[in-house]
Structure 1
């Protein structure tokens, strides 16, 4: 195989963006040969803008055409696992958009199908391509930061006005999207939160506020507290109605603290570990010697094209995946736990009862009385793409 022939399932914002980058030759060793979408308006767009690319109404017809070797799933969230499972069953390599799905149970079934297929499976966690977070992961894994003691992430620069939520009938509903900021905007941060430090929380207490300052039924303001098996703690704060917003990650360890904010990493490094200093210190107000470093610019991030290039290289040459699809379950586990903690008004231990979470989600879907109208000028839901 000299080129990976991609078929794209769903050509809303993200699906169309991937199609255009592939067609423009931005991914070496890859071409887009087919796309599919259930909405006629999307198919008409593809016929006009993607010259020479076959257009289908459904994914199975596209896959059965023999025109594709791999698919990119860019549908609404609930459909990611089902589309992936069908594609694996047909011998396709699969790259899914985030999130991996809406609830852990369905994603676990997808991971099992991927393992049985023997095909490459990736997820578009494009922030894993960001050199800043790669550097943080490297410093943690190398022991430079020592044992992790505390993490704090304030990620409130996901500002979204009411017009954004009104742009599609699926948006910000339990039945259409399966959640709000945790399932739509923050999968990247929830993934990076555990990926960079190499730990999943052991339990979570979260407070999700539904529709704060917005006419929506799902969460758009969240404060969560996490505890880890080694005694570390973490706080995660996010919102979509705060302006101006903040994106600041702090990771404190036994040997110092790293802060990432405004595209810059700062490392306050202790000359010796806090543990060792505390053992030998005899001064009532003594504190360890600390050196401040501005970590040099790590370069730009290739974002989405970087993930697709890496996935293409994995298919063609067996390159190691930066974002294996199976790992999509980790960030989703955290967001599911935050929802469940709010719904049950208490602590949630990880792993949690997946059937209970699914039942609680389905209860909110069944009991929903929230009504949305179709976007102005379009009788179909706009932007069915699993995007931000």
Structure 2
């Protein structure tokens, strides 16, 4: 077959920094179309990447010019655009969080099944070398029984990153549905499920807006999580870490402690109970800061799954389970109760 013809829907920062350059760098892909409701942005992006531009996603999907699309819109459009694309027989790579409710996520999964097309959610943290290595160390029994963990994802906020600054959709509840918890927290619920190899079953959370007085979504969240085997730990998601971003995870096991992305030089440090310390230099995590890993691997894995006709590494079901932990956290904050995930 020839090259995979790809379109990118939504020309904001994530498209500009990740999807467009990574598609362009992929030799199996021809970047043919971009779409944004902001016509000026759509035009400029199209000119920069040598693609056709659309301002209506329906027109792009019905144009017959693309085999696959990336959905990089505001969160409230993830489900409708993904479903429309799948129904049009087009493969979908959707940014996270995949949807704003379990019902939406289920509808996306159903649309993928019905169409026989691929649906992948862009949870790039799974492909970070230190995270992949940690999963293997845990699965092999190297660190013994896992007792606890803590994970954090925080930076100064999307106004420094989003093309629209403080006026952007990130801060508007009807478009974003959730703030730091959905933007950053869902990365970590997905990561924990992946690294630990088990589901999170219970959540207690505090979700606050304390730093962004112009926003009507959360900017600081702290959750306590419990997995099916009884591992307990914390997850913090924040847009109020004003200096260096924090993207670290620490796993406490009976034979060793794993420190992931916690040290500027060594992306994985294993501290064994006998005092031995092993430091790995595995390449940095991808970040919005300079010097971060330059590819998220998400695009190549998505393209590969289409070309080889394999299930994508992060299918809709996985995206939905990671979203359900976030939904449980929001419910816990509202009800002041511990919430069981997925109920």
Out of 327, 333, 338, the residue aligned to residue 336 of structure 1 is: 327
Check the 8 A contact 1:147/1:253 in 2, yes or no: yes
Distance in 1, matches of 2:279 and 2:113, equals 39
Q: Name the larger-Rg structure.
A: 1
The match for 1:294 is 278
Check the 8 A contact 2:145/2:253 in 1, yes or no: yes
The match for 1:254 is 254
Distance in 2, matches of 1:224 and 1:14, equals 26
The match for 2:338 is 347
Distance in 2, matches of 1:218 and 1:2, equals 44
Q: What are the equivalent positions in structure 2 for 1:1-388 lying under 5 Å apart?
A: 1-18=1-18, 20-21=20-21, 25-51=24-50, 53-156=51-154, 158-160=155-157, 167-212=166-211, 214-245=213-244, 246-260=246-260, 261-263=262-264, 264=266, 265-270=268-273, 290-299=274-283, 304=295, 306-318=297-309, 321-352=312-343
Deviation at 1:19, TM superposition (A): 5.9
Deviation at 1:218, TM superposition (A): 1.7
Deviation at 1:104, TM superposition (A): 2.1
Deviation at 1:169, TM superposition (A): 4.5
Check the 8 A contact 2:181/2:220 in 1, yes or no: no
The match for 1:355 is none
Check the 8 A contact 1:258/1:266 in 2, yes or no: yes
Deviation at 1:162, TM superposition (A): 6.8
Deviation at 1:161, TM superposition (A): 8.0
Deviation track 1:34-82 (CA, whole Å, cap 9, x = no partner) reads 122222122221343232x221221222122221111111111011111
- Structure 1 length-normalised TM: 0.78
- Structure 2 length-normalised TM: 0.88
Deviation at 1:255, TM superposition (A): 2.5
Distance in 2, matches of 1:38 and 1:291, equals 57
> CA 1:229–1:319 in 2, change beyond 3 Å: closer, same or farther?
closer
Deviation at 1:108, TM superposition (A): 1.5
Q: Which runs of 5+ in 1 are unaligned?
A: 271-289, 353-388
- SS across alignment from 2:215: coil
> CA 1:10–1:203 in 2, change beyond 3 Å: closer, same or farther?
same
> CA 1:226–1:305 in 2, change beyond 3 Å: closer, same or farther?
closer
> CA 1:149–1:18 in 2, change beyond 3 Å: closer, same or farther?
closer
Q: What is the number of residues matched between the two proteins?
A: 330
Provide the aligned C-alpha RMSD in A.
2.3
* Structure with larger RCO (C-alpha < 8 A, sep 6+): 1
Distance in 1, matches of 2:304 and 2:123, equals 16
- SS across alignment from 1:6: strand
Deviation at 1:178, TM superposition (A): 0.6
Distance in 1, matches of 2:159 and 2:20, equals 29
Deviation at 1:213, TM superposition (A): 5.6
Distance in 2, matches of 1:162 and 1:313, equals 33
Distance in 1, matches of 2:152 and 2:34, equals 37
Check the 8 A contact 1:102/1:183 in 2, yes or no: no
